[in-house]
Amino acid sequence: MHTAASLHAPAAGTPLPDGLAPAASPESAPEVWPLTARTVEGRLHVGGVALDALAAALGTALYVVDEADFRHRARSWRASGADRVHYASKAFLCAEMVRWVDSEGLHLDVCSGGELQLAADTGFDPARIVFHGSNKSVAELEAAVAHGVGVVVVDCLEEIERLADAASAAGKVQDVYVRIAPGVAAETHDYMATGGDDVKFGFPVRGGHAERAVLAVAARPELRLAGVHSHIGSQITATEGLTLAAERVGAFVAGLAERHGIPVDEIDLGGGAGIPYLPGQPRLQPSEFTAALREGLDRALPGTRVRLAVEPGRSMIGTAGLTLYRVGAVKDGLRRRFVSVDGGMSDALRPSLYLARYTAWTANRTANGEPVHAAVVGRHCESGDVVVPDIALPDDITAGDLLAVPATGAYHHVMASNYNAQPRPAVVAVRDGRARLMIHRETPEDLRRREAHGEPVDLNAP
């Protein structure tokens, strides 16, 4: 007996739509998987650990991080030619990650009071911290000064005054970068472009806003101009925009020296190097990224070598991570087969937020079925709750199978939510055949602790 849906469902052997992303194993598309990913007798292994064993021990959905992959890419950035490398913690951060960053000799870029406190609690040297963020609160600025943060990146005129006041009250002089917008639009999703003239970040060079910000810093003796900062966007795979941005920032720095006698010894040109999410996509290598920036600076500042800082995040941790799901149901729609997993937009927001695209592969066995047009969907009450919208998956995938989605190390855990009161997944690191928890799985009890049950609010409290 056939249901109405199955009569119209894609059948095995049916021609697949043009451009449909294939399911990709570590052997067929190593560029999207952690460096140590291997298929052994049909079972997917990372760091020498079988993923089905991890699922049995820790449950799913589960974030898995290949420590060796992260360390390899951290060292590639250290060798890229930049004078200083800041790990952009907004991509992924926890206490264990802070320790990895520290042990690899990187600086740390934080962009909230919470990230700053986590770094401080883990014992990271505050002098090696750069504090980013839009609209930092007075409390956050005071905390940065109190902790002895190396550099605060100022993003608006109000912040300059508030930071100067905080430093004055503490009897300190605080180093700052002034963040500028050079008017370069990165070739990326609009939500990831940050260097144009009409963005919320920093001070536009056009119209003199950036110059006035530098002069405002120079006017406050509690602040010291340590450098200029710019970041044009994320998931960049072409270098032309990077070179142009560096040239414009360099020209701005040259103008400061010429018109005001203000020297700038360090330029931080951010991060944004792109990684592959689908088979065949390119990765912008650290050496290529840094060389493109140096080229632009050399054009604008010939014969002058300023110190160059960079802030990679995604390109260090992105392909080091994957997400492991258990298939709960498989059903046919009119156009696609829906493979439903025990996660979704609560642990993988990027597909909904940026229309980001991923691939997937079975982790517990070899699926030998014919490829069929499918979608990997989540468990939430939203039509946009889709992990992989269009993919050619084997038609013998069934409930109980494990699916691994690669390249989820960046912006998945940090953007995870409790939508539909869903507890957030655990994070586990693997290396040399061993697994170590980085973050515990959230529990229903963790969620219950936040309930206030109508507790009265004292409106007269200070």
pLDDT score, position 194: 45
For the stretch 410-422, pLDDT in tens is 999 999 999 999 9
* 4-65+319-447 belongs to CATH 3.40.50.1390: no
**Contact (CB, 8 A) for 146 and 170:** yes
Instruction: Answer yes or no: 94 catalytic.
Output: no
As given in the structure block, the two tokens for residue 31 are: 């560029």
* 68-316 belongs to CATH 3.30.460.80: no
Q: Which of 94, 111, 156, 381 is catalytic?
A: 381
For the stretch 37-55, pLDDT in tens is 999 999 999 999 999 999 9
The larger pLDDT score, comparing residue 38 to residue 462, is at: 38
Beta bridge partners of 371: 394
The full set of domain ranges for the chain reads 4-65+319-447, 68-316
pLDDT score, position 6: 40
Among the residue ranges 198-202, 252-256, 307-311, 364-368, the one predicted with the least confidence is 198-202
CA-nearest of 137, 148, 145 to 164 is 145
The larger pLDDT score, comparing residue 166 to residue 200, is at: 166
Whether 4-65+319-447 and 68-316 share one fold: the answer is: no
**Contact (CB, 8 A) for 302 and 13:** no
pLDDT score, position 22: 82
Q: For the whole model, what pTM was predicted?
A: 0.93
**Rounded Cα gap, residues 210 and 227, in angstroms:** 13
**Rounded Cα gap, residues 358 and 278, in angstroms:** 6
CB burial of residue 218 (10 Å; 0-12, 13-18, 19+): middle
Question: Does position 8 have pLDDT exceeding 90, yes or no?
Answer: no
The larger pLDDT score, comparing residue 51 to residue 6, is at: 51
